[in-house]
């Protein structure tokens, strides 16, 4: 990684690396995998037929569906790999399961444990069902679905790294040493670039065209029209800088080709794919989760503007109820609707000094009333299924609101807002302490180092200040308040059913307007 080098020097190095790689790949064009038609990154040999025209990973995926060689149809019993090492490794292909043991396999998303134990450690996990899950799609349907993700600027949900999910954090230097990781990146990027119709010279489809494409030079347009060049260029970028580094170098170097917004989403989705243990795009497509599905018709689009205060208990309860109402809506009303959430900063008292919450209670209601206030809040929390911790520290919430803006950058605004409030209300955290806020951001799926850098500066501050002034101008003095499609207003922590009713009304109106 050479993230500290001047940007111009780094980009020149990336371009040269791209050209060198293209030249090398052209020389080795005959050495390709007959399954994926890509260059072989890890040669293997099928036993007993001794064919070597496959990438190791591709052949293992093939053998999941058929035990026969793709070329000669001989039954493969073993696969030899790591052939360039002094002693080659051997993978034994599991024997087929008798018919009687597989009669119910259609309802099982994964292989029996006896087989799973024999699979290499890099196999995919058991796929979780997703709202985005559909039957197997043909390539054009897959591209259409991915294009819809970009059309609605929808970011996939973060999956934590743990033993059960088998997701992992990316080590930037791995792109220089891990051929399998690079192969997986190529697989995903090659398909994803088909989303962008402007990469094809003979199309006038502008749905996913970058905003600044009209101002490109002729040379830039020629580069953009060569998807193969762009594929190698992106791989070279990944080998040079951190894919999601706080300096934004990867985004900066790719944005000239895809546009800023497309690039930001592209890198987020690429990172999600590479962190996952999936080896086939179809498996990842079934597992990846978004807030809502973009398939189906008729479809209504609703936009919800929320005004939460992270130290207001009703805001926390209201945000949780809103989240549940949306989930219920998607399950019972329409799973194909698009619902976009935006949180707007609100501060009832920007001058609140940093102090223990109980001290704030005592100064506001009197020390003798503190037990009664705590009891009342505890009862409210209990009815919402929560347990409040009164060891928290209250103060100015500007940094908490700024952190929400960082979450918006990655499509995690709601997750960040909820984790910050959970930290404050349930864990006794300090709403002004940057370390506590960074911890909350990390739990929401935001990189902790990036959150720390964000909080140490003043990123998002101007936007927060403008929103607070706007709320004051509108005369909003009570929160939470949720505005749906700039018309339907929900004040206070309404019940889930009440919020659901407003969402349904907004949907009916949106569909009526579309039909006119």
Q: Which residue has the higher pLDDT, 291 or 216?
A: 291
Q: How confident is the model over 309-325, as pLDDT tens digits?
A: 788 888 888 888 888 88
The one-character DSSP state at 102 is S
pLDDT for position 98? 61
pLDDT for position 297? 32
Q: Which own/partner pairs from 310-313 qualify as long-range (CB within 8 Å, at least 24 positions apart)?
A: 310/397, 310/400, 310/401, 310/417, 310/420, 310/421, 310/424, 310/431, 311/394, 311/397, 311/424, 311/431, 312/348, 312/479, 312/480, 313/377, 313/380, 313/381, 313/388, 313/425
For residue 270, give Cα distances in angstroms to 48, 196, 264, 322: 37, 15, 10, 30
pLDDT for position 244? 67
If you average pLDDT over residues 343-369, what whole number do you get? Answer: 86
pLDDT for position 354? 93
If you average pLDDT over residues 31-50, what whole number do you get? Answer: 80
pLDDT for position 47? 94
pLDDT for position 493? 64
Structure tokens at 78: 């073993």
pLDDT for position 478? 65
pLDDT at 197 over 80: no
> What is the location of CATH 3.40.30.10 in the chain?
301-504
pLDDT at 477 over 60: yes
pLDDT for position 10? 65
Q: Cis before residue 405, ω within 30 degrees of 0?
A: no
pLDDT at 295 over 50: no
- The rounded radius of gyration (Å) of the Cα atoms in the chain is 26
pTM for the model stands at: 0.45
Top mean-pLDDT range of 23-27, 162-166, 311-315: 311-315
pLDDT for position 60? 85
Q: Which residue has the higher pLDDT, 421 or 245?
A: 421
pLDDT at 226 over 50: yes
d(CA 159, CA 269): 12
Top mean-pLDDT range of 79-93, 152-166, 239-253, 494-508: 79-93
pLDDT for position 299? 41
pLDDT for position 336? 74
pLDDT at 221 over 50: no
The CATH architecture that domain 31-97 belongs to is 2-Layer Sandwich (3.30)
pLDDT for position 20? 64
**52: which residues sit within 8 A by CB, 6+ positions away?**
43, 44, 45, 46
pLDDT for position 482? 78
Q: Which residue has the higher pLDDT, 124 or 456?
A: 456
- Residue 225 pLDDT class (50, 70, 90 cuts): very low
pLDDT for position 31? 65
Task: Name the average pLDDT for the chain.
Answer: 76
- Residue 456 pLDDT class (50, 70, 90 cuts): very high
d(CA 420, CA 414): 10
Q: Which residue has the higher pLDDT, 197 or 135?
A: 197
For residue 328, give Cα distances in angstroms to 332, 385, 455, 504: 6, 18, 34, 11
If you average pLDDT over residues 197-216, what whole number do you get? Answer: 51
- Report the DSSP beta bridge partners of residue 341: 304
Cβ–Cβ under 8 Å, residues 399 and 432: yes
> What is the location of CATH 3.30.40.10 in the chain?
31-97
pLDDT at 327 over 90: no
If you average pLDDT over residues 432-458, what whole number do you get? Answer: 94
Burial class of residue 278, CB neighbours in 10 A (0-12, 13-18, 19+): buried
The one-character DSSP state at 79 is E
Q: Reduce the DSSP state of residue 131 to 3 states and report it.
A: coil
Share of the chain above pLDDT 70, in %: 73
Top mean-pLDDT range of 94-108, 289-303, 357-371: 357-371
The lowest-confidence range among 160-164, 328-332, 354-358, 381-385 is 160-164
- Residue 134 pLDDT class (50, 70, 90 cuts): very low
- Residue 246 pLDDT class (50, 70, 90 cuts): low
pLDDT for position 516? 64
d(CA 77, CA 47): 6
- Residue 115 pLDDT class (50, 70, 90 cuts): very low
pLDDT at 426 over 90: yes
d(CA 263, CA 254): 6
Residue among 455, 460, 403, 459 at smallest CA distance from 434: 455
Q: What are phi and psi of 343, to 5 degrees?
A: -100, 130
pLDDT for position 317? 87
Share of the chain above pLDDT 90, in %: 19
Q: According to the CATH classification, is domain 301-504 in 3.40.30.10? A: yes
pLDDT for position 308? 60
Q: How confident is the model over 50-68, as pLDDT tens digits?
A: 888 888 888 888 888 788 8
């Amino acid at each position: 990684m050479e993230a500290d080098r001047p940007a111009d020097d780094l980009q020149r190095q990336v371009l040269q690396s791209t050209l060198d790689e293209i030249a090398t790949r052209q020389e080795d064009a005959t050495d390709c995998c007959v399954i994926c038609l890509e260059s072989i990154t890890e040669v293997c040999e099928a036993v007993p037929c001794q064919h070597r025209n496959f990438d190791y990973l591709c052949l293992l995926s093939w053998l999941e569906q058929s035990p026969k060689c793709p070329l000669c149809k001989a039954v493969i019993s073993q696969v030899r790999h790591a052939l360039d090492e002094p002693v080659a490794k051997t993978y034994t292909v599991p024997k087929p399961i008798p018919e009687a043991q597989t009669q119910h396999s259609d309802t099982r998303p994964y292989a029996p444990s006896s087989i799973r134990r024999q699979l290499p450690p890099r196999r995919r996990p058991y796929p979780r069902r997703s709202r985005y899950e559909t039957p197997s799609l043909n390539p054009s349907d897959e591209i259409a679905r991915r294009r819809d993700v970009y059309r609605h600027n929808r970011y996939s949900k973060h999956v934590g790294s743990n033993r059960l999910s088998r997701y992992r954090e990316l080590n930037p230097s791995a792109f220089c040493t891990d051929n399998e990781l690079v192969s997986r990146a190529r697989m995903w990027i090659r398909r994803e670039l088909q989303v962008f119709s402007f990469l094809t010279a003979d199309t006038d489809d502008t749905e996913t065209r970058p905003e600044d494409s009209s101002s490109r030079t002729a040379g830039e347009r020629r580069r953009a029209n060569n998807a193969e060049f762009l594929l190698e260029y992106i791989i070279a970028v990944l080998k040079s800088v951190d894919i999601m580094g706080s300096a934004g170098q990867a985004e900066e170097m790719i944005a000239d080709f895809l546009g800023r917004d497309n690039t930001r989403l592209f890198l987020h989705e690429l990172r999600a794919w590479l962190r996952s243990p999936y080896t086939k795009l179809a498996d990842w497509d079934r597992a990846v989760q978004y807030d809502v599905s973009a398939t189906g018709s008729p479809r209504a689009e609703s936009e919800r503007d929320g005004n939460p205060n992270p130290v207001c208990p009703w805001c926390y309860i209201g945000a949780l109820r809103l989240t549940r109402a949306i989930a219920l809506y998607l399950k019972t009303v329409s799973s194909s609707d698009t619902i976009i959430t935006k949180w707007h900063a609100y501060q009832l008292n920007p001058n609140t000094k940093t102090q223990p919450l109980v001290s704030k209670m005592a100064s506001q209601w009197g020390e003798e009333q503190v037990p009664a206030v705590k009891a009342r809040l505890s009862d409210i929390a209990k009815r919402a299924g929560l347990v409040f911790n009164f060891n928290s520290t209250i103060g100015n919430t500007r940094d908490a609101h700024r952190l929400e803006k960082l979450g918006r950058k990655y499509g995690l605004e709601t997750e960040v807002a909820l984790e910050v409030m959970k930290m404050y209300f349930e864990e006794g955290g300090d709403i002004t302490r940057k370390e506590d806020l960074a911890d909350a951001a990390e739990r929401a799926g935001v990189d902790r180092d990036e959150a720390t850098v964000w909080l140490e500066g003043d990123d998002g501050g101007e936007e927060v200040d403008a929103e607070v002034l706007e709320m004051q101008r509108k005369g909003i003095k009570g929160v939470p308040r949720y505005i749906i499609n700039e018309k339907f207003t929900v004040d206070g922590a309404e019940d889930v059913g009440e919020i659901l009713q407003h969402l349904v009304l907004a949907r009916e109106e949106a569909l009526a307007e579309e039909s006119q």
